[in-house]
Amino acid sequence: MTSETTNNDVPPSAATTEVDEKLYSRQLYVMGHEAQKRMMASRAVLVGVSGLGVEVAKNIILAGISSVTLCDPELPNSFDLGGNFYLSEGDLNKCEIESDDSDNKRKGRAELCRDQLAELNEYVKVDVASDVTSLQDEVGLLNLVEGASVVVITVPLSTELLCKMNDKCRGSNSKTCFIYALSTGLFGTVFCDFGEAFLVSDKDGENPATSQVENVLTSNPAVVKVLEDQGRHGLETGDHITFSKVKGLDDLLSPGDGKPSTYEVKVTGPFTFELPGVDASDCSEPATQGYITQVKTPATVSFRPYREALADPGELMMSDFAKFDRPPLLHLAYRALASYAESHDMLYPTPGDAAAAKEVLDLARALDSEKLLENNPSVAERIVLHLAAGSRSILSPMCATLGGIVGQEVLKACSGKFTPIRGFFYFDADECLPESPLADVAPSGTSRYDSTIAVFGKEAQQKLLDDVAPSGTSRYDSTIAVFGKEAQQKLLDLNYFLIGAGAIGCEMLKNWALMGVACGEKGKVHITDMDRIERSNLSRQFLFRNKDINEFKSAAGARAAAEMNEGMNIVPYQEKVGADTEDIFGDDFYDKLDGVCTALDNVEARLYVDQRVLFYRLPMLESGTLGTKGNTQVVIPNITENYGATRDPPEKSIPVCTLKNFPNQIQHTLQWARDYFEGEFKQSGEDVNSYLSDPDYAEGLQQNSKYEAVVAIRKTLVDERPVSFEDCVVWARLKFETLFNNQIRQLLHNFPEDQVTSSGTKFWSGSKRCPKPVVFDLEDKCEDAQMRNHFDFIVAAANLRAHMFGIKGRTDEEYFVEVLQSVIVPDFAPQEGVKIAANEAEAKESENNTAGGMDESEVDQILSSLPKPGELAGFKLNPIEFDKDLDDHMLFVTACSNLRALNYSIPTEDTHRSRAIAGRIIPAIATTTALVTGLICLELYKIIGTPQKELTIEAYKNGFVNLAIPFMTLSEPTAPATTKAVVKGKEWDWTAWDSLDMNMGDITLQEFIAHFETEYNLDVSMISHGVSILFSFFANKKKLAERMKMKMSEVVENVTKKELPSNQLFLVFELIANDLETDEEVELPYVKFRFR
């Protein structure tokens, strides 16, 4: 971007503050360094610090914008407590004495929340606009616009004032972005106006498309074909690309000499495209091999002002395609609600006041020029009435959902990255609400509640007044106003298991504390997480602070949630959830639960939990994020499919021969570098320690790896054992020569550059890139990543080696230069008879031959030459476990990978990018996390039960979002697949949720078999438990006769030779059985047998 075209007049030079990569580690993989720096030079003004306002503030402060000015002098009320996690019931009547006078003055919402918001990020300045004394202070609010990058309003203001503030933003020198958002009960709205010409540097945040060149033909225009085994090129006509490391075509596509830096493409197929204007017909040879990278081009987006969009919203963004007609209706309803507020001191209807709700409906009818209320009057009017009735309620899940969306829009305004919402966006979760109000409409003609009775019915009148009336002092007033006291009590009494206390876990705890989950006498939340808090967690896992680093996440999260709501009953664990902890999380544990919520970061753990919830028939709330993308899945027993019913295909592994000899992508070289790290600094140390501590070490080695293991021990313990740091430097220099020069020269000796295959094609072609040795040069800096890989490798390798042997390291360059000058590097001589696998088949064959051809006597000879463990009493190495967040580890892996990449002419990467690939880091940002947890908590409302409504599968919603585009789609879950069985002549379509439940006590095997004969008309021919067969028609008759008299638990213990844990209540059996009448085999679900 140039200084003339950047948004908000923030010159690039102003965004030069150093980025704290430790803190923003995961976020930088979403936003990038340039966008992060622009955010760090931006200021946001936030008007309104109720539930939605504090959510937005939290998200943008965690993200690291420069400063946030809070403006909200209004006193807190009980509705605020439903969504504001930094307000408490004590704040509703707290008085503070100001230092400059003796008058008692209660603090407003902004002042009450400022200090705790400021604690979220030490780099962000958080202040309060104390000059604004009221949200009706037009002059004060308009003055806030000056100097702001973005103004965000999250409380109701008059339409005229909103228009004036929007106009001021558009007309200000800084071109301030304007956002207006509201959370009202189960409905919400967002409006964005970023000006007439807002520059978007990256519209979708996706990584640029990359491909490898197979060839570029000598034609006019030049035609490019990419390697098909690397996938489609992913380009569109009009895209621009760059080339690198292209071999051939007379260097036509090499940079420099006045050649264009980018090329436009014209797509001709999924693997081919032309380069218009590039004439390659005079080139002497086609290009073979090279890399293509898509260039992201900035786009300018125009917006309409609030006044204009309010009158004619145009096309509205969808969130649920099952409600395609909902956005225009909500636009009308919010206009009516604003009109109502403007005539009632900017207050929305009181919960239970049906007359006020009807007044909003009448206003909507008057504004309905499009006749939206006439299309489907019962549904449309119901939506307007529900919006009005719950409009004062501030619900935490809605604030989280909208706070994630609005927070990301603020970051777009500050950074210019990703596509903003253009105009209005509407969201609702009305599936949580009753289908329609009660229908008894006979008024008495004398009651002040006739209007209420006319809408909701006589019998409901008193219930409405009692059940939804706010107390004015309770945190739960908002929930009660929407769902009633009975629903709130159900939330208080919930017993839930939250697995994971990371980013999603923290947000979930916050939402649950505000909702009142497990805050009653009968309720309890169990939370487990094995991990401890690291600095990189603090930019997303907002319950943690610097003081909590190294503490267990579950304990710190539980403590923070209890501080938000002291009534929350929460028990933290530090245990992994899996088969090996079923003594803790077993039958008796799950038997007391109402549901499970996963906040996990791996599929394997999710699949295990999925099997648990299937077995215990518990609902499961599942969610996950990947940068700006998020997904939610609600799993309901017998209604929806389970999590594991559909799975993504497994990731493809990199072939061994590709890693060892034929890499062609940076991913290959990074994996190779990681593997080398593990072998050299971890495995070798562990092997030596095992040899020294275990007298029977050699006997325990596997045959196919015994030789390599003992040779490695001899190298580490004898041949290459250092006694000083200088020895470590010499070792590192010799390793450099071996890895990046000698091995490559040996490879070229076996497969010369001009070698052809038996079919006559060049051996070094396609995905096989011909390597070249790297000559050591301490001053060398690679072209792509601009890193001193030669020097970095020596420093990192020497220090890791020293740490492993307990030798003190050092990093001063002068020392390394001095030592390296005296290192004698042996000349290379190619070895004859060395077999190098040319493909995966040869690699497997070589592995088998190595395992089978090992000389046992040679192994014994090496072992006998090693020093005896007794001679090295007390000696022990320090094996090093790779940690992507440790800079010295990543310095080695990055340098090692880049040197390997230089061998094969693969573009290199810097440490930041290498960390993401080698560490398999999942990009993450607080906004997406807040959004998905909000969506999933809305499903919890449905799980506890919607008053006067039986929920079907259509009411539940799975979600997928991408805040970068922006895109949201909610859809009903998939029903579980069925299996057809015929039992006693009747068809039974059973699903994964079904089992044959037996709660008859610990009966004998004979009684068990008889039960299926009498109850199901089935002849049981086999019973298994796990991998053990308990009963079969072909088994030993004597043993069967003995087992028939045993209780089922005794049979299991007898066959498996294992005692059943005391907390186990159930046994699972699989049956093979035939219908007694038809003799047909009947496919049955498992038997869930309760024996205790």
Euclidean distance between CA atoms 941 and 944, whole angstroms: 6
Of 972, 1037, 926, residue with least CA distance to 407: 926
Strand partners, 183: 188
E-strand spans in 2-66?
A: 43-47
Of 481, 410, 630, 463, residue with least CA distance to 81: 481
- The count of other CB atoms within 10 Å of the CB of residue 270 is 13
Instruction: Decide: 1057 and 1027 in contact? Cβ < 8 Å.
Output: no
- The count of other CB atoms within 10 Å of the CB of residue 485 is 15
- Dump the DSSP string for 438-507: -------SS-TTHHHHHHH-HHHHHHHHHHS---SS-TTHHHHHHH-HHHHHHHHT-EEEEE--SHHHHH
Whole-Å CA distances, 991 to 93, 856, 988, 1016, 1018: 54, 55, 10, 18, 20
Euclidean distance between CA atoms 672 and 906, whole angstroms: 14
- The count of other CB atoms within 10 Å of the CB of residue 435 is 14
- Dump the DSSP string for 1027-1065: TEEEEETTS-HHHHHHHHTSBHHHHHHHHH--PPPTT--
Indicate the SS3 state at residue 103: coil
Which residue type, as a one-letter code, is found at position 750?
A: N
Euclidean distance between CA atoms 63 and 59, whole angstroms: 6
Indicate the SS3 state at residue 603: helix
Which residue type, as a one-letter code, is found at position 336?
A: A
Euclidean distance between CA atoms 1053 and 1091, whole angstroms: 13
- Dump the DSSP string for 953-1000: GGG--EEEEETTTTEEEEEPPPPPP-EEEEETTEEEEE-TT--EEE-S
Indicate the SS3 state at residue 1017: coil
- Dump the DSSP string for 412-426: HHHH-BSPPP-EEEE
Indicate the SS3 state at residue 206: coil
Catalytic entry in 169, 432, 657, 782:
657
Q: Which residue has the tokens 């040679």?
A: 858
Of 934, 958, 957, 943, residue with least CA distance to 491: 943
DSSP category for residue 432: G
Instruction: Decide: 434 and 948 in contact? Cβ < 8 Å.
Output: yes
Indicate the SS3 state at residue 683: helix
Instruction: Decide: 623 and 631 in contact? Cβ < 8 Å.
Output: yes
Instruction: Decide: 89 and 475 in contact? Cβ < 8 Å.
Output: yes
Instruction: Decide: 377 and 188 in contact? Cβ < 8 Å.
Output: no
Euclidean distance between CA atoms 765 and 925, whole angstroms: 42
- Number of helices and strands in the chain (H, E): 36, 34
Of 90, 50, 104, residue with least CA distance to 73: 50
* Cα 174 to chain centroid, rounded: 35
Asked whether the bond before 966 is cis by omega within 30 degrees of 0, the reply is yes
Q: Which residue has the tokens 């979760």?
A: 429
Euclidean distance between CA atoms 449 and 523, whole angstroms: 37
Decide if 657 is catalytic: yes
Residue 369: partners with Cβ closer than 8 Å, 6 or more residues away = none
End-to-end CA distance of the chain: 70
Structure tokens at 642: 């389970």
Catalytic residue positions, numbered: 657
